[in-house]
Amino acid sequence: MIYNAPIKDMLFLVNEWIGLDKVIALPGYEEVDAELFEAILEEADRFSGTELLSINRDGDEHGAKFENGTVTTPPGFKEAYTQFIENGWAGIDADPEHGGQGLPKVLQNLIDEMVGAVNVSFKLYTELSRGAYHLMNHAASDEIREKYLPKMVEGVWSGTMCLTEAHCGTDLGLLNTKAVPAGDGTYKLSGTKIFITSGDHDLTENILHLVIARIEGAPAGTRGISLFLVPKILVNEDGSLGERNAVNTASIEHKMGIRASATCTLNFDDATGYLIGEENRGLAAMFKMMNIERMTVGLQGLGLSEIAYQNARDYAQERTQSKAPAPRPDDSKPADPIIYQPEMQRQLLTIRSQVEGARALSVFTGLHVDIMERSADEAAAADAENTVALLTPVIKAHFSDLGMSSTLSAQQIYGGHGYVREHGMEQLVRDCRIAPIYEGTNEVQAIDLVARKITGKTGEFADRFLASWQEFLREHEDDEKVAAIVGPAAVALECLIDTTRWLREKVQSDDATARGAASQYLRLFALTIIACMWSQIIVSIRDKEGSFYDIKRKLARFYMQQVLPETSALAATIIQGADALADFEVSDLVGQ
């Protein structure tokens, strides 16, 4: 299997589309320039495409192991992790105060895409640490930040997120894990957490668990949830490692994919924990990490789409099967490479046009994360925060769904060879399958978009967001050079706005209908916004010449004609199909 990071496209999006000047203008990024961006992306490509890709299949074959209460990672993972932290990848966007490099989130997103493309299992040992770092940097006391964060940025300590219990997944208000004040400022936590990614392993000397629990006497439901730091090994006052804490691994899961990633069941038996933030306000703090992880999971889907495309494209150039329609590449041969078959071209272009559009949305959102966190303009920061909140469920759900559809299409191009292990396509499918499930299923993301993000005050922002794209498209609708791209995007956007208005009314009057249409609405939203991204890209290169720009224009046109038309069917299904769904009751589904 091969992987070459799409650095040219990444740099185009940053330098020529959104404009690196917007990033450099933010406080703390003054020393960032195009040369630095390119150098880091090239090094990330080298590390990902060699060190991480080379251990991906072996990691899948061997899997993480659990023996005698200890978890071990597959061969090569320790060595790769050592290089990962020695090269500074653990602290790309971390605060320099803690030893990080303080680089832009938009750059971090591009690196995340690369690493997720070549080895999702390895990435999972690192990405939860990044989320835990940012949560603690945001919500923990100065004492905890000084004591724990430098080691996390160095990469010698890692982090986890401990939410799920056997009886409650998304509905965290049902949790049973309890916390009892110990009388010395610490708490004793007892309970069991399941599906804990990287809950135990042999890559770092300590693991810092971020655990939600209920303090005795706290209110029921989500209002009574507190957040705690529970180290695997307790840390002494001087920062050295002390005694083993009372948290132990009971088992690891045997999974369909990401087999090299240890997904653990953890038992907390009066384990010592330290309160993060305020009592009963833990869920609000935890959302800082959850939203980072949701974005990162979406980028896993994007990365897997890219590597699936690259390998299917190369295979299609090598595999000969039947004669292609005229004009053939060589009439003297009995068969042609399948890439000359229109159906194969359609499948490859469907992947590529969506991947490049999704990458634009990733860069766009990464820029707004940077503005949200860095801008001195409070109004701009607030708008950016609303933009990120609106797009987070879209990126998580749509990108992970794209990962599934892309890996399956790529596997189909391989035919029977895609179903066997030799070429690696079946592993991509299996590894990607978890992305629509974890960090809040895609159905949960869709309900978040419909029930929260397009209603109330956030709904007012969503209207302004859509109106800004509407204004942009209207400005360019009469330009003949871009009309073939702008026109279809404008039609889809009008459809999205009308559907949003209809669905918002249903949220108030008929919640069941709104929820039943949520997943279709999220897809309608995503396909349309990506069409707007494509339109803006094509306008930005309106007068530029060269094969790179010509292919961009062709891809945008393909997207508008072959992918975007689905939006009209989605809108019709949402509005006209509501009664058909409402006709069924649970008894109709289970009675026969």
**CA distances from residue 160 to 112, 130, 164, 195, 251 in whole angstroms, order as listed:** 18, 9, 12, 11, 16
Distance between CA 76 and CA 473 in Å, rounded?
Answer: 50
DSSP 3-state of 251: strand
CB 17 within 8 A of CB 23: no
3-state secondary structure labels for all residues of 376-427? CCHHHHHHHHHHHHHHHHHHHHHHHHHHHHHHHHHHHHHHHHHCCHHHCHHH
Distance between CA 152 and CA 130 in Å, rounded?
Answer: 8
Show the beta-strand stretches assigned E in 152-244: 157-162, 178-181, 187-197, 206-215, 226-231, 233-235, 241-244
Please report, as a single letter, which amino acid is at residue 494. E
Distance between CA 403 and CA 400 in Å, rounded?
Answer: 5
Say which of 216, 439, 471, 475 is annotated catalytic.
439
Query: In the numeric block, which tokens belong to residue 42?
Result: 């090239």
**CA distances from residue 178 to 212, 232, 436 in whole angstroms, order as listed:** 9, 18, 30
Burial category of 343 from C-beta neighbours within 10 Å (exposed 0-12, middle 13-18, buried 19 and up): exposed
**CA distances from residue 531 to 227, 304, 476, 557 in whole angstroms, order as listed:** 40, 21, 14, 10
Question: Cα torsion at 544, 547, 550, 556 (round to 10°)?
Answer: -120
Distance between CA 130 and CA 77 in Å, rounded?
Answer: 18
Distance between CA 202 and CA 198 in Å, rounded?
Answer: 10
Tokens 């993000």: give the residue: 453
CB 81 within 8 A of CB 15: no
Distance between CA 41 and CA 342 in Å, rounded?
Answer: 34
Distance between CA 87 and CA 268 in Å, rounded?
Answer: 34
CB 250 within 8 A of CB 70: no
- Adjacent-strand bridge partners of 274: 229
**Nearest CA among 268, 245, 261 for reference residue 175:** 268
**CA distances from residue 122 to 29, 59, 115, 204, 220 in whole angstroms, order as listed:** 29, 9, 8, 13, 37
**CA distances from residue 308 to 125, 425, 428, 564 in whole angstroms, order as listed:** 22, 7, 7, 22
Task: Give the single-character DSSP code of 236.
Answer: -
Q: Is 205 a catalytic residue?
A: no
CB 337 within 8 A of CB 316: yes
Query: In the numeric block, which tokens belong to residue 183?
Result: 């009388």
Please report, as a single letter, which amino acid is at residue 530. I
Longest alpha-carbon distance in the chain: 86
Tokens 């189909």: give the residue: 412
Catalytic center residues: 439
